[in-house]
C-alpha cells in the first residue's frame, strides 16, 4: 500500500472527491428509472422479464415455496446452521437491549407519543459472487425485535434459477415470512409498489449494488428506505503498540469486499506503516481472492502517517468511515473524541469480522461519509412515533392567546378563529 506523510497530505487523500471521483451514473439512472416505472406499471410480467434479462433465469414463480425453505434448513451443513443460530441469538439480544432503552411510550397524560412498529418491511440480501446469509440476519432480526408483523426477503436467483440453500436456511433462522427470488432494481420496485405476487411494503432495507441503491433513492417517498449504501470502508488508527499482523489482516479483510472497498490506516509511527505493508505482502499470497484484494488496496487503500492520535481522529471524523478501529494504547480513553463513524471498534480484539457475522450489532452501516448524519441499521429503522395530544380547557386558556397571535402573523385567520371559538364558548360557560 502507498504511504502518505503529514496531516495535510492525509486530509487531501481522505477527501471523498479524491477517493471516488465524479460518479458517472446518468445512464444507469435512466436504466433504473425505466425498470422502476415498468414494474410499477406491469407488475409481475416486468419482474419476470428483467430477471431473465439481467440474471439469465426464467422463473416459473417469483416466490420461493415454503417447502423449499424448510428443506434447505434441514439439509444445510449443521456447523453452519449452528453458527447462524448463534449469530441470530446475539443479534436478537443486542437489539432487545436497544428496544428496552429506546422504545417506550410516553407516560405524560397531556403530551406524549406512541411507538408503533411498521406493518410490513422488505429486506434485500445481495447475491454478489456468493450467498450472504449474514445480511439476511442483520436486516431481518432488528425488524423482528422492533415488532414488524411481516418481513419479506428479496434476493437474486443463482445461476441455476434458485436461491442458495444457505440463504434460505438463514431466512428460516431469522423467521422471515416470505422469500422472493428476485434482485436488482426490479426487486426494489416490486417491494415499493407491489405486484400480483409481491406485497407492497412500508420500508425497503438492506445493501445492494448501484442499481439497487439508485432504485431505493427513486422510490423513496412512496416507500421508506433505511439508507443508501456504497462500497464498504474501514479506517484503522494504530500507534506503536498495535500488532502489525492484525492490522494487515483487517485491511485485507476489508479489501476482500471488492467493488471499490476502501482500506485505510492512519498511524503515528512510520515503522508501523512499513511493518504492516510487509505483512500485507506475506498474507496476501494465501488468499483465494488475492487478485480482488490486491486491486482494492492499489485503488483505494493507503497508509497515512501523522504526528498524534488526535490528528488521526480528526481525519477520521472528517472522513466519517463506515468502520473505525482504534488500535492504540488506552483506546477507550479516546471514545469521546470520536464524532462520526458507523461502528467504532475499541482495541485489537474488537475486529470488524466479528461484527460482520456474530457480535450483535447489524453490519448494515452508513458509508460514503453518511455516518456524519446516519446510523447503522437498528430497531429505530422499523418503528414510527405517533405524537399524542390530550389537552383541556385550562391548556386552551393558557396557550390560546399565543396561538392566535402567531396564526394571525402568518395570515392564517382560520387557525386563530378555531381558538377564539373555544375561548368564546368557555366564557359563556359552554363545554
DSSP state letters, 220-285:
BTTBEES----S-EEEEEE-TTS-HHHHHHHHHHHHTT-TT-EEEEEES-HHHHHHHHHHHHHHHT
Q: At residue 21, does pLDDT exceed 90?
A: no
Q: pLDDT higher for 45 or 102?
A: 45
Band (pLDDT 50/70/90 cuts) for residue 415 is: very high
Q: At residue 19, does pLDDT exceed 70?
A: no
Please tell me the predicted confidence (pLDDT) of residue 160: 74
> What is the architecture of the domain spanning 2-21+232-363?
3-Layer(aba) Sandwich (3.40)
Q: Is 63 a catalytic residue?
A: no
Band (pLDDT 50/70/90 cuts) for residue 86 is: very high
Q: At residue 159, does pLDDT exceed 80?
A: no
Please tell me the predicted confidence (pLDDT) of residue 27: 86
* Fold match flag (2-21+232-363 vs 43-225): yes
Average pLDDT over residues 268-294: 94
Please tell me the predicted confidence (pLDDT) of residue 26: 78
Q: At residue 420, does pLDDT exceed 80?
A: yes
Q: At residue 171, does pLDDT exceed 90?
A: yes
Please tell me the predicted confidence (pLDDT) of residue 18: 55
C-alpha cell belonging to residue 176: 422471515
Return mean pLDDT, the chain: 93
Q: pLDDT higher for 366 or 108?
A: 366
The residue written with cell numbers 406499471 in the block is: 41
Please tell me the predicted confidence (pLDDT) of residue 107: 78
Average pLDDT over residues 385-393: 93
Catalytic residue among 48, 95, 323, 363: 323
CB count in 10 Å sphere of residue 308 = 11
Name the least confident of 43-57, 144-158, 288-302.
Answer: 288-302
Catalytic residue among 233, 322, 348, 352: 322
Band (pLDDT 50/70/90 cuts) for residue 180 is: very high
Residue 110 CA from chain centroid, whole number: 36
Q: At residue 6, does pLDDT exceed 80?
A: yes
Band (pLDDT 50/70/90 cuts) for residue 109 is: confident
Q: Is 415 a catalytic residue?
A: no
Average pLDDT over residues 293-316: 95
Q: At residue 198, does pLDDT exceed 60?
A: yes
Q: At residue 22, does pLDDT exceed 50?
A: no
Give residue limits of the domains in the chain: 2-21+232-363, 43-225, 391-427
Select from 321, 358, 325, 343 the least CA-distant residue to 248.
325
Q: At residue 79, does pLDDT exceed 90?
A: yes
Q: Please tell me the distance from the alpha carbon of residue 283 to that of residue 1, in angstroms, as a whole number.
A: 13
Name the least confident of 85-89, 196-200, 389-393.
Answer: 389-393
Determine the angle formed by the axes of helices 210-219 and 184-193, rounding to 10 degrees: 20
Please tell me the predicted confidence (pLDDT) of residue 106: 80
Please tell me the predicted confidence (pLDDT) of residue 234: 96
Please tell me the predicted confidence (pLDDT) of residue 24: 60
Pair 179, 416: CB distance under 8 Å: no
CATH class of 43-225: alpha beta
Please tell me the predicted confidence (pLDDT) of residue 257: 86
Q: pLDDT higher for 248 or 162?
A: 248
Amino acid at each position: 500500500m502507498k504511504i502518505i506523510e503529514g496531516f495535510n497530505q492525509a486530509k487531501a487523500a481522505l477527501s471523498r472527491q479524491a477517493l471516488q471521483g465524479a460518479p458517472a451514473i446518468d445512464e444507469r439512472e435512466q436504466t433504473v428509472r425505466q425498470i422502476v416505472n415498468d414494474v410499477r406499471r406491469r407488475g409481475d410480467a416486468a419482474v419476470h422479464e428483467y430477471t431473465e434479462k439481467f440474471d439469465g433465469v426464467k422463473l416459473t414463480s417469483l416466490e420461493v415455496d415454503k417447502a423449499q425453505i424448510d428443506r434447505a434448513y434441514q439439509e444445510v451443513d449443521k456447523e453452519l446452521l449452528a453458527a447462524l443460530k448463534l449469530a441470530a441469538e446475539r443479534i436478537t439480544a443486542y437489539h432487545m437491549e436497544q428496544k428496552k432503552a429506546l422504545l417506550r411510550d410516553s407516560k405524560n397524560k397531556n403530551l406524549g407519543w406512541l411507538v408503533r412498529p411498521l406493518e410490513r418491511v422488505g429486506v434485500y440480501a445481495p447475491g454478489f459472487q456468493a450467498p450472504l446469509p449474514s445480511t439476511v440476519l442483520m436486516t431481518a432480526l432488528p425488524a423482528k425485535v422492533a415488532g414488524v408483523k411481516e418481513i419479506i426477503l428479496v434476493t437474486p436467483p443463482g445461476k441455476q434459477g434458485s436461491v442458495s440453500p444457505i440463504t434460505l436456511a438463514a431466512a428460516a433462522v431469522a423467521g422471515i415470512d416470505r422469500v422472493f427470488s428476485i434482485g436488482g432494481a426490479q426487486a426494489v420496485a416490486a417491494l415499493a409498489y407491489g405486484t400480483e405476487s409481491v406485497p407492497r411494503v412500508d420500508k425497503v432495507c438492506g445493501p445492494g449494488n448501484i442499481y439497487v441503491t439508485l432504485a431505493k433513492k427513486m422510490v423513496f417517498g412512496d416507500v421508506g428506505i433505511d439508507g443508501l449504501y456504497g462500497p464498504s470502508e474501514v479506517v484503522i488508527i494504530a500507534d506503536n503498540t498495535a500488532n502489525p499482523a492484525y492490522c494487515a489482516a483487517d485491511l485485507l479483510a476489508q479489501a476482500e469486499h471488492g467493488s471499490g472497498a476502501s482500506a485505510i490506516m492512519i498511524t503515528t509511527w512510520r515503522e508501523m506503516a512499513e511493518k504492516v505493508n510487509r505483512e500485507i505482502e506475506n498474507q496476501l499470497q494465501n488468499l483465494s481472492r488475492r487478485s480482488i484484494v490486491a486491486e482494492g488496496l492499489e485503488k483505494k487503500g493507503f497508509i497515512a502517517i501523522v504526528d498524534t492520535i488526535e490528528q488521526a481522529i480528526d481525519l477520521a471524523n472528517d472522513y466519517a468511515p463506515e468502520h473505525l478501529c482504534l488500535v492504540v494504547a488506552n483506546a477507550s480513553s479516546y471514545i469521546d473524541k470520536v464524532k462520526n463513524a458507523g461502528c467504532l471498534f475499541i482495541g485489537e480484539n474488537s475486529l470488524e469480522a466479528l461484527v460482520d457475522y456474530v457480535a450483535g450489532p447489524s453490519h448494515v452501516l452508513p458509508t460514503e461519509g453518511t455516518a456524519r448524519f446516519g446510523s447503522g441499521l437498528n430497531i429505530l429503522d422499523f418503528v414510527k412515533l405517533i405524537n399524542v395530544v390530550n389537552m383541556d380547557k385550562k391548556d386552551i386558556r393558557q396557550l390560546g392567546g399565543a396561538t392566535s397571535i402567531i396564526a394571525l402573523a402568518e395570515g392564517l385567520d382560520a387557525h386563530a378563529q378555531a381558538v377564539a371559538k373555544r375561548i368564546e364558548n368557555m366564557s359563556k360557560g359552554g363545554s
